[in-house]
């Protein structure tokens, strides 16, 4: 560990020259919003402006490595727009022409506050809309979204805990999986086919508390890049989607922060400058569950004469980031994230008699991530920048189970002590160089290489048995899988003409493990045609490959889930996807609509054979896996309203997805578990006034598929030596043979601001429709207690409240 920090510190203080807020932008009569995005990517600045301020405004600028202030001056010269840089925000207003006009403008925009920055009280009367996402018609991307932290915070959430992944569930083509859990199934993919990154560094465990909460602290989020159809060549390693959570930089103008108290957790963050060149930001989030259980356990223990029960659970996230500007051409940064879940429990006999039995049992389960990285943004020439990063990402989980048993009698006393340890670890060292090059005004080339040293230790179990003077030790250790991964990519985003734009790239990868080398070449291409300014037609092709997969016995996100690399006879998973769409955007960018179609075919998918009991060791697990193929196809239709008092989107998806495995379901093709034929998502936000905002999200989709075991057979009793006593056992059925009822749910939240911060009130499942998540075999509650099938319904209405204090 010490080496990691030493390495990062060294990286941080290497003697590179550095640059402040200097950017390179070339644009000729382009919509301002598109230019903002490029500036934002280089400088990290947010643009904050009124919804109608850019109506019909195109800008031209030709700047090479100029200060942001000068570039903005060039852009807005003669447009009637003035700007002000404050912290990480560039705020745009119309230039004051006359008092009467200003008054009118203020009145018109006062109710359009969408971004509560730390300066929200000051800005309340002016602005504000932040459109970080690429206008749908301007780029050649399909299925790409840039989501702001504000969108995440505004989305109604379970227990009021804003959640990146659950926000994405409102996007078309994305299924949440099991209700309440932070699963994500993109275009029919599995939950382990999504690459989650924190500032471009992969993170393996993205959930707390079995998936109820996301590991991403929204206080640290600047924006989120999400790709699933046309994937930039930079990304590979998962089949379905790529989600890169970009964290904030510290404020350069004073110390600011927020503190939040919620029903289930609390959070605090602070950021500010350290001297003139350095900024910092730090955040912590911690749950309250262990505090909440104290009185309950006290009551239980006070009523129990036999034993005391201990139970403690909490999760915690720690983030820190330091950005340092050394000289004019480079910026250095270092960041760290530590997320941890801890469950401790135990029982102790509280009998106090001189003779008898005594037992003490304790259990400790922990899991989490550590991500540490350091890097440099360096400008070689005006048109070429590079980012060099060294990172370490670690996933860990483990448990320890201790049992002490004593028998104390006059003639004899015995002591039995057992210990059981288990550890799962993944350690990745990542070294990466990424470059961004503008060879000509209309072309942007991105290229880079990276090397990853993987170390997987999927399960080491050790048991120690002490019986008086006898000790027996047993270990069940799978060997450490070490793998070397190399990646190289290049892509060019080229504006061929005013009407045509093309993005073409290639990602090549090598994955060496156990003396075998797997390789893959993943071409990416997308093309856009704009017959008129506010219409675009796009098409894209992408290939993705995946060298690691997750073994899980449940749909929960548990620390016992194992990430393991491709090994044995298994081959890397690959997916090919073609997508096409039509896009429209109103002239003032207030409205937009899109219709996208896709077809995806997947190879070498990995799943359990029909006999899927996971038992150690790993070598045996591999033998229980089977390889197959799958397809997914569908259409996503979406309508957005981006500005005004009422904003939001309506989306509809029509989808099919299936799987075929030779050793599963007798080789017959079957529907995937989340083969939801119809999905409707509605997400709306309404600024009632400058202080109150109401958010609503309604989702409805065809029910998930479920393997319903409809028949029974009579089996022998093992204990009595194969005697037949009518053991009733479930008969194997066709996989996912039953469709659960239509799922629907409405979530509401309301944000009420005051001078110091804001209250957030939430209502999950507002009309209390408990949805069916499974069907179980049970018995009727009344005589004759006959066998019956029962729908299992989950998650009724759940209110929440939290207060966020801003300073």
Within 610-639, which residues bind another protein (CB under 8 A)? 611-617, 620
Q: Which residue has the tokens 């925009």?
A: 109
Collapsed DSSP state (helix, strand, coil) of residue 792? strand
Position 480 contacts another protein (CB under 8 A): no
Sheet holding 89-94, edge to edge: 46-48, 89-94, 81-86
Position 254 contacts another protein (CB under 8 A): no
β partners of residue 247 = 221
For another protein, the closer CB: 253 or 610:
610
Binding mask 330-359 for another protein (x = CB under 8 A): ---------------xxx------------
For another protein, the closer CB: 459 or 572:
459
For another protein, the closer CB: 595 or 709:
709
Position 703 contacts another protein (CB under 8 A): no
CB of 615 to another protein, least distance (A): 6
Is residue 18 within 8 Å of 328, Cβ to Cβ?
yes
- CA-closest candidate to residue 530, choices 34, 26, 24: 34
Q: Which two tokens stand for residue 286?
A: 């911690």
Position 709 contacts another protein (CB under 8 A): yes
Alpha carbon separation from 303 to 102, 298, 306, 339, 639 (Å, rounded): 70, 9, 9, 36, 58
| Torsional class of 100: left (φ above 0), alpha (ψ -120 to 50), beta (otherwise) | alpha
Alpha carbon separation from 571 to 314, 325, 545, 632 (Å, rounded): 39, 45, 10, 20
Position 58 contacts another protein (CB under 8 A): no
Is residue 804 within 8 Å of 761, Cβ to Cβ?
no
Element (H, E) at 788: strand 787-794
Q: How far from each other are the two terminal CA atoms of the chain, in whole angstroms?
A: 34
CB of 521 to another protein, least distance (A): 35
Position 298 contacts another protein (CB under 8 A): no
Among 351, 431, 778, 785, binds another protein (CB under 8 A): 778
Q: For the CA atoms of the chain, what is the radius of gyration?
A: 28
Position 708 contacts another protein (CB under 8 A): yes
For another protein, the closer CB: 517 or 768:
768
381-400: contacts with another protein (CB under 8 A): 399
> How far, in whole angstroms, is CA 200 from its chain's centroid?
12
Q: Can you say whether the dihedral through the CA atoms of 175, 178, 182, 188 is positive or negative?
A: negative
Is residue 542 within 8 Å of 553, Cβ to Cβ?
no
For another protein, the closer CB: 212 or 221:
212
Alpha carbon separation from 476 to 558, 615, 625 (Å, rounded): 21, 11, 20
| Torsional class of 648: left (φ above 0), alpha (ψ -120 to 50), beta (otherwise) | left
Stretch that binds another protein, among 8-16, 126-134, 596-604, 792-800 (CB under 8 A): 792-800
β partners of residue 214 = 207
Stretch that binds another protein, among 86-94, 96-104, 541-549, 777-785 (CB under 8 A): 777-785
107-166: contacts with another protein (CB under 8 A): none
CB of 619 to another protein, least distance (A): 9
CB of 344 to another protein, least distance (A): 11
Q: Which two tokens stand for residue 67?
A: 């200060």
For another protein, the closer CB: 58 or 345:
345
For another protein, the closer CB: 725 or 756:
725
For another protein, the closer CB: 352 or 615:
615
Position 289 contacts another protein (CB under 8 A): no
- At residue 620, φ and ψ (nearest 5 deg) are -75, -35
Among 102, 504, 684, 774, binds another protein (CB under 8 A): 774
For another protein, the closer CB: 130 or 707:
707
Nearest-angstrom CA–CA distance, 17 and 3: 25
Nearest-angstrom CA–CA distance, 676 and 671: 10
Stretch that binds another protein, among 27-35, 278-286, 385-393, 790-798 (CB under 8 A): 790-798
Position 805 contacts another protein (CB under 8 A): no
CB of 611 to another protein, least distance (A): 6
CA dihedral 559, 560, 561, 562 (to 10 degrees): 110
Is residue 179 within 8 Å of 282, Cβ to Cβ?
no
Collapsed DSSP state (helix, strand, coil) of residue 340? strand
Position 720 contacts another protein (CB under 8 A): no
For another protein, the closer CB: 29 or 411:
411
CA dihedral 104, 106, 108, 113 (to 10 degrees): 180
159-218: contacts with another protein (CB under 8 A): 178, 180, 210
CB of 182 to another protein, least distance (A): 14
What DSSP string runs through 762-778? EEETTT--PEEEEEEEE
CB of 161 to another protein, least distance (A): 15
Among 65, 622, 660, 790, binds another protein (CB under 8 A): 790
For another protein, the closer CB: 508 or 614:
614
CB of 455 to another protein, least distance (A): 19
Q: What is the 3-state secondary structure (H, E, C) of 262-282?
A: ECCEEEEEEEEEECCCEEEEE
Looking at 88-214, list the stretches that DSSP marks H as alpha helix, in order from N- to C-terminal side.
Answer: 99-109, 120-123, 149-154, 164-168
CB of 343 to another protein, least distance (A): 8
For another protein, the closer CB: 121 or 770:
770
Stretch that binds another protein, among 221-229, 247-255, 262-270, 458-466 (CB under 8 A): 458-466
Q: Which residue has the tokens 């880079």?
A: 448
Among 254, 568, 787, 799, binds another protein (CB under 8 A): 787
Number of residues engaging another protein in binding (CB under 8 A): 88
671-690: contacts with another protein (CB under 8 A): none
CB of 582 to another protein, least distance (A): 38
> Do the strands 194-198 and 241-247 form a parallel or antiparallel pair, or are they unpaired?
parallel
Exposed/middle/buried for residue 352 (C-beta within 10 Å: 0-12, 13-18, 19+): exposed
Position 793 contacts another protein (CB under 8 A): yes
For another protein, the closer CB: 510 or 556:
556
For another protein, the closer CB: 380 or 724:
724
β partners of residue 549 = 564
CB of 409 to another protein, least distance (A): 7
Position 484 contacts another protein (CB under 8 A): no
Exposed/middle/buried for residue 432 (C-beta within 10 Å: 0-12, 13-18, 19+): buried
Position 412 contacts another protein (CB under 8 A): yes
For another protein, the closer CB: 9 or 553:
553
For another protein, the closer CB: 419 or 533:
419
Position 290 contacts another protein (CB under 8 A): no
Nearest-angstrom CA–CA distance, 689 and 772: 38
Position 553 contacts another protein (CB under 8 A): yes
733-772: contacts with another protein (CB under 8 A): 733, 737-738, 770
Stretch that binds another protein, among 21-29, 288-296, 431-439, 720-728 (CB under 8 A): 720-728
Position 426 contacts another protein (CB under 8 A): no
> Do the strands 443-467 and 481-495 form a parallel or antiparallel pair, or are they unpaired?
antiparallel
Position 304 contacts another protein (CB under 8 A): no
Q: Which two tokens stand for residue 486?
A: 């190399």
Position 408 contacts another protein (CB under 8 A): no
């Amino acid at each position: 560990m010490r080496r990691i920090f030493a390495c990062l510190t060294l990286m941080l203080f290497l003697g590179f020259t550095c640059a402040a807020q200097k950017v390179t932008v070339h644009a000729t009569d382009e919509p301002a919003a598109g230019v903002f995005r490029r500036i934002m990517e280089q400088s990290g600045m947010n643009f904050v402006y009124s919804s109608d301020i850019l109506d019909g405004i195109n800008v031209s600028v030709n700047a090479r490595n100029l200060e942001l202030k000068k570039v903005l001056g060039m852009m807005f010269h003669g447009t009637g727009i003035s700007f002000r840089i404050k912290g990480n925000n560039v705020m745009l207003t119309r230039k004051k022409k006359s008092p009467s006009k200003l008054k009118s403008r203020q009145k018109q925009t006062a109710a359009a506050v969408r971004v509560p920055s730390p300066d929200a009280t000051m800005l309340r009367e002016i602005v504000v809309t932040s459109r970080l996402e690429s206008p749908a018609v301007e780029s050649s991307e399909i299925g790409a979204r840039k989501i702001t932290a504000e969108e995440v915070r505004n989305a109604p959430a379970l227990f009021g805990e804003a959640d990146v992944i659950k926000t994405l569930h409102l996007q078309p083509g994305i299924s949440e999986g099991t209700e309440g859990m932070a699963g994500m199934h993109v275009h029919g993919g599995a939950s382990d086919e999504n690459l989650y990154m924190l500032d471009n560094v992969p993170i393996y465990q993205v959930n707390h508390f079995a998936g109820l909460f996301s590991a991403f602290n929204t206080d640290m989020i600047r924006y989120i890049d999400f790709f699933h159809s046309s994937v930039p060549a930079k990304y590979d390693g998962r089949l379905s989607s790529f989600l890169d959570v970009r964290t904030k930089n510290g404020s350069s103008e004073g110390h600011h922060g927020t503190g939040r108290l919620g029903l289930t957790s609390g959070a605090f963050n602070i950021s500010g400058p350290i001297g003139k060149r350095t900024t910092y930001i730090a955040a912590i989030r911690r749950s309250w569950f262990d505090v909440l259980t104290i009185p309950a356990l006290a009551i239980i223990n006070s009523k129990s004469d036999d034993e005391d029960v201990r139970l403690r659970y909490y999760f915690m996230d720690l983030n820190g980031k330091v950005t340092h500007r050394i000289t004019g051409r480079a910026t250095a940064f270092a960041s760290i994230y530590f997320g941890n879940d801890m469950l401790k429990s135990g029982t102790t006999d509280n009998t106090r008699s001189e003779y008898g039995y005594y037992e003490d049992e304790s259990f400790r389960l922990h899991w989490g991530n550590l991500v540490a990285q350091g890097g440099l943004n360096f400008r070689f020439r005006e048109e070429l920048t590079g980012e060099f990063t060294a990172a370490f990402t670690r996933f860990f989980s483990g448990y320890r189970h201790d049992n002490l048993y004593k028998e104390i009698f006059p003639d004899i006393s015995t002591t039995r002590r057992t210990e059981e340890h288990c550890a799962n670890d993944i350690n990745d060292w990542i070294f990466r160089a990424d470059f961004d090059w503008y060879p000509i005004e209309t072309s942007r080339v991105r290229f880079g290489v990276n090397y990853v040293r993987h170390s997987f230790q999927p399960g080491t179990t050790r048991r120690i048995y002490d019986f008086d003077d006898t000790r027996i030790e047993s270990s069940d250790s799978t060997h450490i899988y070490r793998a070397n991964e190399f990646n190289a990519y290049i892509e060019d985003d080229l504006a061929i003409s005013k009407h045509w734009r093309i993005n073409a790239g290639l990602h090549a990868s090598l994955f060496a493990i156990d003396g075998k080398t797997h390789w893959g070449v993943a071409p990416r291409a997308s093309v856009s045609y704009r017959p008129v300014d506010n219409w675009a037609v796009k098409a894209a092709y992408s290939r993705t490959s995946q060298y690691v997969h997750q073994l899980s016995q449940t749909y929960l996100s548990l620390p016992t889930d194992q990430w393991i690399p491709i090994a044995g006879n298994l081959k890397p998973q690959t997916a090919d996807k073609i997508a096409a769409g039509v896009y429209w955007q109103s002239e003032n960018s207030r409205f937009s609509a899109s219709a996208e179609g896709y077809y995806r075919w997947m190879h070498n998918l990995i799943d359990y054979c029909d006999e899927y009991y996971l038992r150690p060791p790993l070598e045996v697990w591999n033998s229980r896996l089977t390889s197959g193929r799958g397809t997914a196809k569908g259409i996503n239709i979406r309508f957005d309203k981006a500005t005004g008092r009422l904003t939001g989107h309506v989306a509809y998806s029509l989808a099919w997805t299936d799987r075929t495995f030779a050793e599963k379901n007798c080789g017959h093709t079957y529907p995937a578990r989340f083969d939801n034929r119809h999905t409707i998502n509605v997400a709306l936000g309404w600024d009632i006034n400058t202080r109150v905002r109401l958010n609503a999200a309604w989702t409805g989709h065809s029910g998930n598929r479920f393997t319903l075991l409809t028949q029974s057979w009579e089996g022998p009793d093992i204990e009595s030596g194969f005697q037949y006593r009518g053991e009733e056992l479930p008969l194997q059925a066709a996989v996912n043979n039953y469709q659960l009822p239509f799922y629907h749910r409405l979530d509401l939240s309301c944000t009420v601001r005051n001078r110091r911060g804001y209250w957030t009130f939430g209502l999950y499942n507002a009309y209390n429709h408990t949805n069916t998540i499974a069907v179980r075999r049970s018995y009727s509650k009344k005589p004759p207690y006959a066998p019956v099938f029962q729908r299992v319904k989950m998650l009724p209405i759940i209110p929440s409240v939290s207060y966020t204090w801003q300073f």
